[in-house]
Structure 1
Amino acid sequence: MCCPRCYSSKIVKNGSIHTGKQKYMCKDCRRQFVENPTNQPVSEEKKSLINRLLMEKIPLAGIARAVCVSERWLQSHVNERYESAETEVAVTVKKKAV
Protein backbone atom coordinates (compact mmCIF):
# COMPACT_ATOMS: atom_id res chain seq x y z
CA MET A 1 0.00 0.00 0.00
CA CYS A 2 1.19 3.54 -0.70
CA CYS A 3 0.05 7.08 0.03
CA PRO A 4 -2.42 8.45 -2.57
CA ARG A 5 -0.79 11.92 -2.35
CA CYS A 6 2.99 11.35 -2.30
CA TYR A 7 3.16 7.60 -3.13
CA SER A 8 5.35 6.90 -0.10
CA SER A 9 5.28 3.40 1.38
CA LYS A 10 5.83 4.70 4.94
CA ILE A 11 2.27 4.05 6.11
CA VAL A 12 1.00 3.48 9.67
CA LYS A 13 -2.43 2.53 11.00
CA ASN A 14 -4.30 5.52 12.39
CA GLY A 15 -7.61 4.45 13.93
CA SER A 16 -10.81 3.80 12.02
CA ILE A 17 -13.66 5.74 10.45
CA HIS A 18 -17.28 5.68 11.68
CA THR A 19 -18.09 2.66 9.48
CA GLY A 20 -15.28 0.64 11.06
CA LYS A 21 -12.87 0.80 8.09
CA GLN A 22 -9.19 1.04 8.94
CA LYS A 23 -7.68 4.51 8.59
CA TYR A 24 -4.01 5.03 7.65
CA MET A 25 -1.56 7.92 7.81
CA CYS A 26 1.46 8.64 5.65
CA LYS A 27 4.57 9.36 7.74
CA ASP A 28 6.06 11.55 5.00
CA CYS A 29 3.21 13.95 4.09
CA ARG A 30 0.94 13.16 7.12
CA ARG A 31 -2.12 12.65 4.92
CA GLN A 32 -4.85 10.44 6.40
CA PHE A 33 -6.74 8.05 4.12
CA VAL A 34 -8.64 4.76 3.91
CA GLU A 35 -7.83 1.96 1.53
CA ASN A 36 -10.43 1.51 -1.24
CA PRO A 37 -12.82 4.35 -0.26
CA THR A 38 -16.46 3.66 -1.15
CA ASN A 39 -18.00 7.12 -0.77
CA GLN A 40 -18.80 8.96 -3.99
CA PRO A 41 -19.57 12.65 -4.50
CA VAL A 42 -23.28 13.44 -4.68
CA SER A 43 -24.33 13.76 -8.34
CA GLU A 44 -26.01 16.84 -9.77
CA GLU A 45 -29.12 14.71 -10.47
CA LYS A 46 -29.37 13.80 -6.78
CA LYS A 47 -28.86 17.42 -5.76
CA SER A 48 -31.65 18.47 -8.14
CA LEU A 49 -33.98 15.83 -6.68
CA ILE A 50 -33.08 16.91 -3.14
CA ASN A 51 -33.84 20.54 -3.99
CA ARG A 52 -37.28 19.55 -5.35
CA LEU A 53 -38.01 17.46 -2.23
CA LEU A 54 -36.97 20.36 0.00
CA MET A 55 -39.58 22.55 -1.71
CA GLU A 56 -42.23 19.94 -0.77
CA LYS A 57 -41.39 20.44 2.94
CA ILE A 58 -40.41 16.79 3.46
CA PRO A 59 -38.35 16.28 6.66
CA LEU A 60 -34.58 16.09 6.17
CA ALA A 61 -34.37 12.60 7.68
CA GLY A 62 -36.91 11.34 5.13
CA ILE A 63 -35.08 12.96 2.22
CA ALA A 64 -31.75 11.52 3.42
CA ARG A 65 -33.24 8.01 3.56
CA ALA A 66 -34.97 8.30 0.18
CA VAL A 67 -31.96 9.70 -1.69
CA CYS A 68 -29.30 7.65 0.20
CA VAL A 69 -27.22 10.54 1.54
CA SER A 70 -26.19 11.21 5.12
CA GLU A 71 -28.25 13.62 7.22
CA ARG A 72 -25.04 15.47 8.02
CA TRP A 73 -24.28 16.08 4.32
CA LEU A 74 -27.91 17.05 3.65
CA GLN A 75 -27.88 19.61 6.48
CA SER A 76 -24.69 21.18 5.13
CA HIS A 77 -26.26 21.28 1.62
CA VAL A 78 -29.34 23.04 3.02
CA ASN A 79 -27.13 25.52 4.92
CA GLU A 80 -25.17 26.32 1.74
CA ARG A 81 -28.39 26.92 -0.21
CA TYR A 82 -29.75 29.14 2.58
CA GLU A 83 -26.59 31.27 2.65
CA SER A 84 -26.66 31.77 -1.12
CA ALA A 85 -30.39 32.57 -1.29
CA GLU A 86 -31.58 36.14 -1.70
CA THR A 87 -32.62 37.53 1.64
CA GLU A 88 -34.17 40.77 0.44
CA VAL A 89 -37.66 40.83 -0.99
CA ALA A 90 -38.55 43.45 -3.57
CA VAL A 91 -41.72 45.25 -2.50
CA THR A 92 -43.68 47.47 -4.86
CA VAL A 93 -45.98 50.14 -3.54
CA LYS A 94 -49.51 49.99 -4.93
CA LYS A 95 -51.78 52.97 -5.22
CA LYS A 96 -54.60 53.01 -2.72
CA ALA A 97 -58.14 52.78 -4.00
CA VAL A 98 -60.10 56.00 -3.68
Structure 2
Amino acid sequence: MIIETISYVCTRCQSANIYKNGHNQSGNAQFRCKDCGRSSVLKPKIKYTEEQKELIMNTYLERGSLRGMQ
Protein backbone atom coordinates (compact mmCIF):
# COMPACT_ATOMS: atom_id res chain seq x y z
CA MET A 1 0.00 0.00 0.00
CA ILE A 2 1.37 3.40 -1.03
CA ILE A 3 0.47 6.44 1.03
CA GLU A 4 1.14 9.84 -0.50
CA THR A 5 1.40 12.77 1.88
CA ILE A 6 0.96 16.35 0.68
CA SER A 7 2.02 19.16 2.99
CA TYR A 8 0.83 22.69 2.32
CA VAL A 9 2.37 25.96 3.45
CA CYS A 10 1.06 29.47 4.02
CA THR A 11 1.11 31.63 0.90
CA ARG A 12 2.39 34.65 2.86
CA CYS A 13 4.94 33.41 5.42
CA GLN A 14 5.66 29.89 4.06
CA SER A 15 4.84 28.34 7.46
CA ALA A 16 3.48 24.80 7.60
CA ASN A 17 1.44 25.70 10.71
CA ILE A 18 -1.97 25.99 8.98
CA TYR A 19 -5.40 24.54 9.65
CA LYS A 20 -8.64 24.14 7.71
CA ASN A 21 -11.03 27.05 8.26
CA GLY A 22 -14.28 26.20 6.47
CA HIS A 23 -15.22 26.93 2.85
CA ASN A 24 -15.72 30.09 0.79
CA GLN A 25 -18.72 30.88 -1.46
CA SER A 26 -17.18 28.98 -4.38
CA GLY A 27 -16.89 25.83 -2.30
CA ASN A 28 -13.09 25.90 -2.01
CA ALA A 29 -11.60 24.92 1.35
CA GLN A 30 -10.11 27.87 3.21
CA PHE A 31 -7.08 27.62 5.45
CA ARG A 32 -5.81 29.90 8.21
CA CYS A 33 -2.18 30.28 9.22
CA LYS A 34 -1.54 30.11 12.97
CA ASP A 35 1.65 32.17 12.65
CA CYS A 36 0.64 35.20 10.55
CA GLY A 37 -3.18 34.90 10.68
CA ARG A 38 -3.70 34.93 6.91
CA SER A 39 -6.81 33.18 5.64
CA SER A 40 -6.62 31.98 2.05
CA VAL A 41 -7.49 29.27 -0.44
CA LEU A 42 -4.64 26.94 -1.37
CA LYS A 43 -5.95 26.03 -4.83
CA PRO A 44 -8.11 28.80 -6.34
CA LYS A 45 -10.45 27.71 -9.16
CA ILE A 46 -10.40 30.84 -11.34
CA LYS A 47 -7.18 31.73 -13.14
CA TYR A 48 -7.05 34.33 -15.86
CA THR A 49 -4.39 34.68 -18.53
CA GLU A 50 -2.66 38.03 -19.04
CA GLU A 51 -4.74 38.67 -22.19
CA GLN A 52 -7.96 38.01 -20.28
CA LYS A 53 -6.87 40.31 -17.45
CA GLU A 54 -6.09 43.08 -19.94
CA LEU A 55 -9.47 42.63 -21.65
CA ILE A 56 -11.27 42.72 -18.30
CA MET A 57 -9.44 45.89 -17.21
CA ASN A 58 -10.14 47.64 -20.54
CA THR A 59 -13.81 46.69 -20.35
CA TYR A 60 -13.96 47.89 -16.74
CA LEU A 61 -12.43 51.25 -17.65
CA GLU A 62 -14.96 51.66 -20.48
CA ARG A 63 -17.71 50.88 -17.94
CA GLY A 64 -18.80 47.76 -19.80
CA SER A 65 -20.01 44.56 -18.21
CA LEU A 66 -18.27 41.20 -18.02
CA ARG A 67 -21.33 39.64 -19.67
CA GLY A 68 -21.01 42.11 -22.57
CA MET A 69 -17.42 41.00 -23.25
CA GLN A 70 -18.44 37.56 -24.54
Q: Which has the higher contact order (CA 8 A, sep 6+)?
A: 2
Which is strand-richer, 1 or 2?
Answer: 2
| Partner SS for 1:36 | coil
Runs of 4+ in 1 over 2 A off after TM superposition: 38-42, 44-47, 63-68
Aligned sequence identity (%): 31
Q: What per-residue deviation string (whole Å, max 9, x for no partner) do you get for residues 31-78 of structure 1?
A: 011112233466222222341x63xxxxxxxx333447xxxxxxxxxx
- What's the TM-score, normalizing by structure 1? 0.49
Which is helix-richer, 1 or 2?
Answer: 1
Gaps of 5+ in 2: 1-7
Give the RMSD, CA atoms, in angstroms. Answer: 2.4
**Number of matched residues?**
59
Gaps of 5+ in 1: 55-62, 69-98
- What's the TM-score, normalizing by structure 2? 0.64
| Change over 3 Å in CA distance of 1:67–1:23 after alignment to 2 | farther
